[in-house]
């Protein structure tokens, strides 16, 4: 993620901020500008941009920004929209008359915006789903489970459903331990489930892509329900880490893709943050890893160098966490086969990016 600054006082601000902590200037994310905007309030619904280069002088806050404080994105005043590009994707939310649901929803929307930020940088920002027959758009349903009505997180035909109770850290950690996972976050759910959505899009627009997909991930036409049943009954293969990024990736080629896709997005967002922060590292010894960004990591042409930077970054991240008495920030080991899958995802996105550029 980029480093953002307040236009008024020039201090650093962050993606989730609504007010500059140094000068109290109102802030809001501008998707059209890809930046945290700084604004002077004319009234509650009219904000003037303090950026002299901004092509839109006036903005208004998203409805969920001004009404529920669950968003911090803004909309150009000349656009006839009540909700920002992020909130337009949300279809169903929990009952907000219950206080904890409001808090859960805010956490979920925050994670969704982090997910969407990266899709914008990769030129794959989703369009809202028009209706139940629209399989190219995307829709989010955030549902609270009840004793007689459980909620399964998942994706079907452009609809991503998320169990909103996982916004409760206690519930999420318990689930992670119960399922023997070494990583489980709200942001991770968005990235994993989006893998299923983007798989559908890619096979729709680029059917030739499936041939190489099957070389890396296997034949997705095998029965999904039977594969999941076998996985939950027998568990992963003992040597799963030689072939997969996670245990669950063993279940079916779709899940292998979604898990690897999510991992790729984790890598790219973290590396992008390190790049924009100007992070560099030189090893103390000849065999120590270095961090040396020769180009931006997103859609890089030298993915081997990007991976080299990733290994160096995770090495120091884990060492820093251990120094603080925390668990490893990056509890994964990537085999050669997993790295080849990540290469395939990177090439696919680079190809999509080039096609979009040529189409503009």
Average pLDDT over residues 189-208: 96
Report CA torsion sign: 257, 259, 264, 265: positive
pLDDT value of residue 355: 86
Q: Nearest Cα to 51, choosing from 3, 2, 10?
A: 10
What are the beta bridge partners of residue 38?
Answer: 27
pLDDT per position as a tens digit, 85-110: 999 999 999 999 998 999 999 999 99
* Average pLDDT across the chain, whole number: 94
pTM of the model: 0.94
User: pLDDT band for position 136 (50/70/90)?
Assistant: very high
Q: What is the CA radius of gyration of the chain?
A: 21
pLDDT reported for residue 360: 63
Encode pLDDT of 284-314 as tens digits. 887 888 899 999 999 999 999 999 999 999 9
Residue indicated by tokens 């966490």: 321
When pLDDT is averaged across residues 237-254 and rounded to a whole number, the result is 95
More confident residue, 183 or 6: 6
Region class of 123: left (phi > 0), else alpha (psi between -120 and 50), else beta: left
The confidence score (pLDDT) of residue 182 equals 81
């Amino acid at each position: 993620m980029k480093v953002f600054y307040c236009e008024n006082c020039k201090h650093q601000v962050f993606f989730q901020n609504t007010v500059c902590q140094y000068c109290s200037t109102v802030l809001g994310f501008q998707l059209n500008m890809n930046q945290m905007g700084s604004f002077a309030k004319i009234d509650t619904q009219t904000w003037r941009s303090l950026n002299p280069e901004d092509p839109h002088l006036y903005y208004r806050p998203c409805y969920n920004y001004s009404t529920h404080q669950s968003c911090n994105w803004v909309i150009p005043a000349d656009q006839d929209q009540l909700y920002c590009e992020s909130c337009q994707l949300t279809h169903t939310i929990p009952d907000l008359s219950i206080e904890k649901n409001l808090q859960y929803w805010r956490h979920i929307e925050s994670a969704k915006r982090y997910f969407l930020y990266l899709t914008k940088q990769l030129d794959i920002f989703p369009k809202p789903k028009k209706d139940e027959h629209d399989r190219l758009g995307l829709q989010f349903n955030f549902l609270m489970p009840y004793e007689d009505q459980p909620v399964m997180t998942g994706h079907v035909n452009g609809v991503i459903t998320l169990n909103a109770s996982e916004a409760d850290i206690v519930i999420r950690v318990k689930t992670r331990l119960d399922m023997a996972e070494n990583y489980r976050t709200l942001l991770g759910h968005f990235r994993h489930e989006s893998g299923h959505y983007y798989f559908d899009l890619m096979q729709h627009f680029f059917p030739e892509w499936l041939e190489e997909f099957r070389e890396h991930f296997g034949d997705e036409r095998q029965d999904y329900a039977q594969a999941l049943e076998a996985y939950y009954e027998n568990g992963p293969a003992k040597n799963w880490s030689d072939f997969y990024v996670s245990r669950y990736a063993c279940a079916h080629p779709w899940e292998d893709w979604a898990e690897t896709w999510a991992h790729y997005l984790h890598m790219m967002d973290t590396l992008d943050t390190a790049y924009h922060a100007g992070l560099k590292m030189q090893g103390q010894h000849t065999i120590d890893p270095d961090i040396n960004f020769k180009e931006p990591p997103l859609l890089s042409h030298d993915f081997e160098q990007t991976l080299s930077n990733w290994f160096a970054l995770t090495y120091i991240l884990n060492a820093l966490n251990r120094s603080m008495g925390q668990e490893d920030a990056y509890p994964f080991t990537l085999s050669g086969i997993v790295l080849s899958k990540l290469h395939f995802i990177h090439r696919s996105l680079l190809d999509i990016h080039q096609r979009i550029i040529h189409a503009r």
